[in-house]
């Protein structure tokens, strides 16, 4: 996620894991979606509930290169945080408003189009007997979310990163992602750029069922906010050669993350 529970996070992401079994004839197109739900106060003392539903279309125009476009729907209760390209940031202006609000104030809920994401990734090195697969990428967040309703910052964010993966013992795959996000700051707000990372593994229990576990972290975007850190575990099942379903749960390990989250979705290749 990558992210409400990347599942934002990561990021925000979205948030599925590739099947452990490699495919020789990989399809050129992919379509995926998931529902990501998270709850946490992010150190503000006021819980924020986030529902993040991305629809991602991917295409592989040439071997090794993948281009994807993500169009998300967001529903957010409480406006003390905002989603950026590098994760969830605390809004200091809303914290001050919250501190002076009356106890009986009704919590606000907003929903609508989120920030559109465009990502390009190139497999620089394919996996060898000793070397891992290395895939650097560039991701751009377009400010399509309504800033006035707290659904986005109204600024562009750019992320440069690299994914590494290595198959071990035929059923076990290890993953490592590192990324740096240039976070745009709205007028009157100072957000810091963010360094993010994710480390984990997937295990093919029995074809077509796999389980996975990840530890996701990053540096804080808002000054004074704790560095986000969470653990995420889940599973995926390939129903057919083209269709896979997946799900996960997450638990925040710091005040900079949601307290907990859950995600479920499907991915189609054609």
* pLDDT tens-place string over residues 47-81: 999 999 999 999 999 999 999 999 999 999 977 89
Residue 195 has pLDDT above 70, yes or no: yes
Residue 22 has pLDDT above 50, yes or no: no
Q: How confident is the model at residue 161 (pLDDT cuts 50, 70, 90)?
A: very high
Q: What gap in Å lies between CA 213 and CA 220, rounded to an integer?
A: 23
Count of structural domains within the chain: 1
Beta strands 65-77 and 81-84 are unpaired
Query: Does the global pTM surpass 0.75?
Result: yes
Which own/partner pairs from 206-210 qualify as long-range (CB within 8 Å, at least 24 positions apart)?
207/21, 207/238, 208/19, 208/21, 208/237, 208/238, 208/239, 209/235, 209/236, 209/237, 210/17, 210/19, 210/20, 210/235, 210/236, 210/237
DSSP state of 149: G
- Domain membership of residue 183 (yes or no) is yes
| CATH number of residue 119's parent domain | 2.40.128.130
Which tokens go with 63? 């071997």
* Mean pLDDT along residues 91-106: 51
Q: Which of 112, 108, 111, 104 is nearest to 79 (CA)?
A: 108
pLDDT confidence of residue 94:
54
- Domain membership of residue 21 (yes or no) is no
Residue 108 has pLDDT above 90, yes or no: no
- The string of pLDDT tens digits covering residues 211-229 is 999 999 999 999 999 999 9
- Domain membership of residue 6 (yes or no) is no
CA-to-CA dists, residue 181 to 29, 85, 138, 140, angstroms: 27, 7, 10, 9
CA-to-CA dists, residue 112 to 15, 39, 186, angstroms: 20, 18, 20
Q: How confident is the model at residue 188 (pLDDT cuts 50, 70, 90)?
A: confident
The parent domain of residue 171 ranges over: 29-269
- Domain membership of residue 8 (yes or no) is no
Residue 157 has pLDDT above 80, yes or no: yes
- Domain membership of residue 16 (yes or no) is no
Q: How confident is the model at residue 25 (pLDDT cuts 50, 70, 90)?
A: low
- Domain membership of residue 9 (yes or no) is no
Q: How confident is the model at residue 21 (pLDDT cuts 50, 70, 90)?
A: very low
Beta bridge partners of residue 268, listed in sequence order: 31, 243
pLDDT confidence of residue 27:
84
58: which residues sit within 8 A by CB, 6+ positions away? 29, 30, 31, 32, 66, 67, 68, 69
CB atoms < 10 A from the CB of 113, how many?
14
* Mean pLDDT along residues 223-249: 96
pLDDT confidence of residue 13:
35
pLDDT confidence of residue 15:
38
Q: What is the largest CA-CA distance in the chain?
A: 63
- Domain membership of residue 1 (yes or no) is no
- Domain membership of residue 93 (yes or no) is yes
């Amino acid at each position: 996620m990558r992210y409400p529970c990347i599942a934002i996070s990561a990021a925000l992401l979205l948030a599925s894991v590739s099947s452990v079994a490699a495919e020789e004839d990989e399809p050129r197109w992919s379509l995926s979606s998931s529902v990501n739900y998270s709850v946490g106060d992010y150190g503000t003392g006021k819980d924020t509930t986030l529902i993040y539903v991305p629809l991602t279309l991917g295409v592989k125009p040439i071997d090794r290169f993948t281009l994807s476009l993500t169009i998300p729907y967001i529903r957010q209760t409480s406006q003390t945080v905002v989603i950026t390209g590098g994760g969830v940031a605390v809004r200091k202006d809303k914290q001050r408003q919250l501190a002076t609000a009356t106890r009986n104030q009704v919590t606000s809920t907003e929903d609508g189009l989120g920030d559109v994401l465009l990502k390009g990734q190139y497999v620089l090195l394919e996996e060898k007997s000793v070397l891992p697969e290395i895939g650097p990428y560039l991701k751009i967040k377009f400010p399509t979310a309504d800033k006035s309703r707290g659904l986005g910052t109204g600024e562009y964010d750019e992320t440069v990163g690299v994914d590494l993966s290595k198959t071990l013992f035929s059923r076990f795959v290890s993953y490592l992602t590192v990324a740096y996000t240039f976070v745009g700051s709205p007028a009157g707000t100072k957000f810091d750029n963010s360094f993010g990372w994710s480390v984990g593994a997937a295990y093919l229990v029995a074809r077509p069922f796999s389980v996975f576990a990840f530890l996701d972290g990053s540096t804080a975007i808002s000054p004074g906010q704790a560095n986000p850190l969470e653990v995420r575990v889940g599973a995926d099942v390939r129903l057919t050669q083209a269709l896979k379903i997946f799900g996960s749960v997450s638990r925040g390990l710091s005040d900079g993350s949601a307290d907990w989250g859950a995600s479920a979705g499907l991915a189609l290749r054609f």
